[in-house]
Chain A
Amino acid sequence: MGSVFRTEAASAPERATRLRETIEPLVAIQRRFSRTVPVSQEIDAGLPYRGLPLGCIHEVRSSGLACGIAFAAMLAARISSPGGQIVYVASDRTLYPLGLLAYGVQPERLIHVVVRRPLDLAWATLEALRCPQVDAVLAVVKIADLTLCRRFQLAAESHGATGFLLTDVVSRATTPVASVITRWQVFPIPAPPESTFEEPCWEIELSYCRGGRPGRWNAAWRNGRLEPLASKPVRRAGLLHPNTLAG
């Protein structure tokens, strides 16, 4: 960007062309991520797209997957097209649909796919992302390389489904840096004394965002939306909550 201002000697039309060249990719990015869903008022303000962009791949990290599934399910439930399905791909049958009701996911929309091998997981996720009648794909991944993430991204872009890669920090699931559009980390935090168990409190960290800045918010899930909590800093020991390691 600096080059535009450094070349003082250039004529006005040249400068205009260069400016246009600089702006066009930015506009293209904006257009590419024009379809969004709101996360919450505060978080949307921190995102460059004014919401979570659809038709791309997001990663949600959590410990033990519980908060990650809840967060992704909440976002997937907001992507609603008539008859649109939510596909959950995992290697086990532990998902409990009654727990997802609180996050707005109707179990009729859910398709649960059980895979045995990582190869099948990648294949099933790609197939689901390419289906126009699928709104969102939640995939529990153990390991994903840059090529695979790129293929997920291309599949999602081509047909408009949104992919959520759910990774578990306890089992050290990894995805490469900058392979996804946004990377979230969701961890539970102690609730204020007046709240009940129906209102989980999370620390939501946006650790990577393409074209945006990272951020961190404390929020409670209340009445079907994320409400901000007084963001008193929570002392955490590194990335992992040692005390949430269980099961």
Chain B
Amino acid sequence: MRQRFLCLFFPRLGIDRLERQNPQRRSSAFAVVREERNHLYIAAVNDPAKDAGIRPGARLADARTLLPILDIVLDDPEADEQLKQSLVEWCDRYSPLAAHDGPDGIVLDITGCAHLFGGEAALLEKIQTLLREMKFHVRGAIADTVGAAWALARFSKQGVVTREELTNALDPLPVKALRIACETAARLDQVGLTAIGHLRRISRDSLAARHGPGVLLRLDQVLGLAEEPITPYRAPAPYRAGRTFAEPIGTAAAIERTVLDLLRKLCTRLEKEHRGARLFNLDCYRVDGSVVRRQVRTSKPGRSVTHLMRLFSERTSSFDVGFGIEIMVLSAADIGTSAPVQMTLPHCGDSIEKDTSLDELLDRLGSRLGFDRVCRFQIRESLLPESSTEFVPVTNALPSSACWPENRVRPVRLIEPPAPIEIAEIIPGKSPVQIRIGRQLHRIVRAEGPERLTPEWWRDRPSRWKTRDYYRIENQRGARFWIFRETTWSGERWFLHGHLP
């Protein structure tokens, strides 16, 4: 299939960014300057400065002689990069394959997309109008190859160029439009090869021999004789369904209805392919240009429409639609296999369904509270009580085949970190006779121990804890505690680690 590419060229993105931040700048002359070898050079200028005769590339000192009141701003490539990233995301609504193209361009693979927006000319017109309304200077072009669209956007006035018109449109363009190095272009100019048409007419062998294979490759790429893949800014979701609205929608019922339709579409496809997804992304493009994203995660690969709809309705209830939503796109990621299970037998009239209520409960809990808050327990090989069990999110929990240790007397809740306590009275080497927890004094009538637990010296980071001697003690009222003694070179310390039932 023949591919079609749309290139957008932003000739003065830095100026646009600053003017959008402060609209008053538009009326007074100002320039973006760049520091290079301890000199300040003009990087870009706005319209009033351009009228005053200041050109990019000049030294600031020279520009100031022309216009002493010239306002300057130091360039900020990171902010420009960020702005362009959000522009690429904005363009995402027209094609899932949007990519950066140098510091000042964006390229979209619009193969098979244009008819959704009323044809290529209408699409290009729409994008340019919207971006110009957002106060960007932009020029776009559509052609069969990335190279041709790039060249046309920068060096030609033509917008949409068909395959038949391509060579005619390219021939008069300067050789710089081939995306070759400046020195190569200058050398070609010197020998009189000033336009792409000139290069096309001389033999390929001599072109490669005299001017290097790079020029030939670029020429082939422009003409579509060599492949040139683009790298989308994000991997396109293979499972994706979207809808564009004639009129922006804003009511909860309409949004819900659309999500349901999109889910049905996506889940039917997943079911056909015996797959399920763990992650569903809903992108809503608002009229004002911002994007609202909602995400739903499940603990197992799923494709149940009713269940997913329930998860989404919890997430979309607090939804700021602004002036309305014009495009909604639902995509599924983290795909896993999920074979259908036969539960019913034909001609028996039974309607048994697999009980998935637990998975659905976990998904609902996880999507509202976060999956790190819905846990199962797993055992770890450790002697220290606090690290011998582990909270594992239900999404990562392994089917348990753990062998839990035999019944030992342990508290049902641990005090973490262990609380330091005071020993009011003690016979050395024995369990305490009186302990003080907070302000309470407890007389100990019964004690069991010690149970010695040693930390793991073979771990990468040795625990700050030393060997512990655990005692189980009971006070005169029957309350039971689990305390331990830690002996260090400076003496011994006592801690309360839990209440025994």
Contacts and interface: CB of A to CB of B under 8 A. Distances in A.
B479 A107 contact: no
Contacts of B410: 96, 98-99, 101-102
A241 interface: yes
Contact of B377 (A85, A107, A123, A221): A107
Contact of A114 (B375, B389, B405, B416): B375
Nearest to B356: A133
Contacts of B442: 243, 246
Interface string A108-125: 101111111000100110
A132 B227 CA distance: 58
Nearest to B407: A102
A12 B369 CA distance: 62
Interface in B418-432: 419
A197 B448 contact: yes
Contact of B501 (A116, A190, A200): A200
Contacts of A64: 499
A247 B437 contact: yes
B478 A189 contact: yes
Interface band, chain B? 35 or more
Interface in A48-106: 64-67, 69-71, 73, 83, 85, 93-103, 106
Interface string A196-220: 1110111000000000000000000
Interface residues of A, number: 60
Contact of B500 (A110, A200, A241): A200
A127 B389 contact: no
A236 to B, nearest CB: 8
B189 to A, nearest CB: 68
Contact of B411 (A96, A111, A127): A96
Contacts of B362: 111
Given A94-B416, A96-B412, A247 B496 contact: yes
Nearest to B373: A114
Given A98-B389, A102-B409, A120-B368, A112 B496 contact: no
Contacts of A70: 412, 501
A154 interface: no
A181 interface: no
Contacts of B446: 191, 197
Contact of A98 (B385, B438, B472, B477): B385
Nearest to A234: B478
A188 interface: yes
Of residues B385, B409, B448, which shows the largest number of chain A Cβ atoms within 10 Å of its Cβ?
A: B409
Given A101-B407, A201-B478, A246-B437, A108 B412 contact: no
A178 interface: no
A134 interface: yes
A114 B369 contact: yes
Given A134-B361, A197-B480, A200-B501, A99 B373 contact: no
A94 B442 CA distance: 24
Contact of B373 (A115, A202, A221): A115
Contacts of A98: 385, 388-389, 404-405, 408, 410
B411 A66 contact: yes
Nearest to B445: A190
B417 to A, nearest CB: 11
A129 to B, nearest CB: 10
B440 interface: yes
A241 B477 contact: yes
A128 interface: yes
Contacts of A128: 361, 365
Q: Which of B389, B391, B437, B478 has the most CB of A within 10 A?
A: B478
Contacts of B477: 188-190, 241, 243-244
Contacts of A100: 412
A146 interface: no
Interface in B327-373: 355, 357-358, 360-362, 364-365, 368-369, 373
A241 B479 contact: yes
Contacts of B498: 66, 96, 99
Interface in B448-501: 448, 472, 474-481, 496, 498-501
A245 interface: yes
A27 to B, nearest CB: 31
Contacts of A97: 377, 389, 404
Interface of B: 355, 357-358, 360-362, 364-365, 368-369, 373-377, 379, 385, 388-389, 391, 394, 400, 402, 404-405, 407-416, 419, 437-438, 440, 442, 445-446, 448, 472, 474-481, 496, 498-501
23 contacts: A66-B498, A69-B413, A96-B412, A96-B498, A98-B385, A98-B388, A98-B405, A101-B404, A107-B400, A107-B402, A112-B377, A114-B375, A120-B369, A131-B361, A187-B478, A190-B474, A191-B478, A197-B480, A202-B501, A242-B440, A243-B479, A244-B479, A247-B419
Given A98-B385, A114-B374, A127-B365, 14 more contacts: A94-B414, A96-B389, A96-B413, A97-B389, A97-B404, A99-B411, A102-B409, A107-B404, A113-B375, A128-B361, A133-B358, A198-B407, A234-B478, A243-B476
